[in-house]
Every structure is written in C-alpha cells, then in structure tokens.
Amino acid sequence: MVDLVLIVIFSAVLVPLVEFTSGAGRIILGLIFILFSPGYSLIAALFPSKGSLGTVERLALSIGISIAIVPLIGLALNYTPLGIRLYPVLLSVLAFILIMVIIAWYRRSRLLPEERFQLNLRQNTESLRRSWLSQGKLDRILNIVLVVAITGTLITLAYVVANPKVGEKFTEFYILGAEGKADDYPQTVILGESAWVTVGLINREQESTTYEIEITIEGQTASALGPVSLEHDETHETRADFTPSETGENQKVEFNLYKNGSSEVYLSLHIWIDVPGSG
C-alpha cells in the first residue's frame, strides 16, 4: 500500500510548504494535491483490487475526478462561516484525502495480498505491456488519445501556473463628501471661502504607479495634489481644498487625475457649485 502512504505524505507536506515557502516545490505539490490526490484516493477507496481498473484508466480517472471534487468542496465551504479561503480549502481537501485513504486501506486489507492493487513499477509496467499487446487497434488508439489528453492537460496547467495572466489594469478614483460618503458634496461656496472634499485612489494597475491630481473651476486651475506613489492594491485618501475666484451658478469643479507624469488626463470627476457674492 505504498501508493496510499505516498499520497498522505505528499498531502501533509504541502501544508507547511504553503505557510513557509513560495517556490517550485509548493507549486508541484500543489498541483498534485489539487489535481491528482483527491481523485486517486477516491478511486483507491472505490476500486481496491488490482483487476478492477487498468493503470492508465486509474490515472486518468484520478485527474478527472479531482477536477470535479475540489470545486464541490469549495462550493460546500461557501455556505459555511469558513468561506472559500486558502486554509479552509486546503484543510478540507486534506481531510477528504485522509478519509478516502483510510477507507481504501481498510478495503484493501480485506482482500488477499495477490488481489490488492499494489504500486509496483515492474509489475505494473509488465501488466501494462501485456495489456497493450492484447488490445485491438481501436483500443490502442483510444489509450493513446487518453495519454495525450492527460499529458496535454498537465502541460497546460503547468504553463498557466508558471505564467499567470495579469488581471485587468485600472485605477479606482472617487470623491467623498464631508460624511465620508459619495454624496453631500459642497453645493454653495461663498466667494473667497474654501470648500473641500476627500479624494480617494486605489491602485489596480498591477504595478507601482505615480499619480497627480489637478483641481479646476470652470477650466481654471484652483489647486493641485501629488505626486503620490502607490503600490498595487494600495489605497490613498486625502483632503482636497479649492477656492472659487469668481461668482456664478453651476460652476464646474473638475478633479483631473494624471498617471506617471503624463500630460493627458487619465480619469476625471466633477461636481457643481454655486458661488454667490460675499455680500
């Protein structure tokens, strides 16, 4: 029952690797843990005898069933207080594997030694060779297609993990009123007096980005903020004061955002104010 022992060891070793490392070992064991171990342990529990499934079929089903089991575990966790987070998912999958391994161990132990499925490379290779020679042309073609499909899936997954797709690049740019909400903005400002809002930025550009903000009233520069440098996912909020220089109704106050020293406006927000005379 060496295969069951190896599955448990690989699965258990992944937990400290997730906590303390981020290298290739974590990725390789992670792929085995997610894409192979759950299905293999379930297949081992369902088919404990060596004659019930061929080696190729056992491997193929292990991958296919793993791809089905892990999302179902995540779906179940979504309806619990734990939620779909790293450690709840990791420990839940590990618990599933351990339970299936225990069942597989028990079922194999009830079989005669010569009937149990054993991980013996020499015997499995010889059995696979005899099976290949006894198959017809169509069966051989189907087995080749199955092996190619498994290999292609593993290569594709390895490539996706090694070259993760960069998410959408954008910046969240917003204005908050005096109560810290997206309303209650200044509406009437006496000539010569100042008004203010809170301007917020969240960098979603996937890289460090420098921002500047220009505040204009009716196209005339009233004040400027920045430069402010933010790392990806970093948030910055600051008070932005502006003072109108002439009276008039429905004056447009614009907040123009510039990125990385560019002279072109990247994003723009605005509010409207009335400016009566001081008297």
pLDDT tens figures, 90-102:
889 999 999 999 9
The verdict on 21 and 130 lying in the same domain is: yes
Q: Does 207 lie in the same domain as 70? A: no
pLDDT score recorded for residue 145? 80
Same domain, 180 and 222: yes
Q: Could you report the per-residue pLDDT of 181-192, keeping only the tens digit for each?
A: 888 899 999 988
Residue among 43, 47, 35 at smallest CA distance from 11: 35
Q: Give me the chain's average pLDDT, please.
A: 84
The overall pTM is greater than 0.75:
no
Q: How confident is the model at residue 161 (pLDDT cuts 50, 70, 90)?
A: low
Whether 34 and 73 share a structural domain: yes
Half-sphere exposure of 235 (CA within 13 A, CB side): 6
Strand partners, 270: 254
Same domain, 176 and 156: no
CB atoms within 10 A of CB 166: 8
Residues 206 and 153 in one domain: no
Same domain for 44 and 157, yes or no, is: yes
Which of 115, 146, 162 is the endpoint of a domain? 162
In this structure, the answer to whether residues 153 and 20 fall within a common structural domain is: yes
pLDDT at res. 156: 74
Cβ of 188: how many Cβ atoms within 10 Å? 10
Q: What is the mean pLDDT of residues 239-262?
A: 94
The pLDDT of residue 163: 64
Q: What is the domain-level CATH number for residue 240?
A: 2.60.40.10
Mean pLDDT of 204-210: 92
With b for 16 or more beta-carbon neighbours within 10 A and e for fewer, the 254-277 pattern comes to bbbbbbeeeeeeebeeebebebee
Domain that holds residue 179: 170-275
The confidence score (pLDDT) of residue 57 equals 76
pLDDT at 142: 77
According to the model, what pLDDT value does residue 147 have?
72
Cα–Cα distance, 253 to 43 (Å, whole number): 66
The domain tally of the chain equals 2
Give yes or no: residues 157 and 218 share one domain: no
Clarify whether residues 12 and 149 are in a common domain.
yes
- Tell whether 41 and 126 lie within a shared domain: yes
Which burial class, exposed, middle or buried, applies to 72 when counting CB atoms under 10 A from its CB (0-12, 13-18, 19+)?
Answer: exposed
Nearest CA-CA partner of 215 in 172, 268, 141, 276: 268
- More confident site: 122 or 26: 26
Q: Are the C-beta atoms of 65 and 43 separated by less than 8 Å?
A: yes
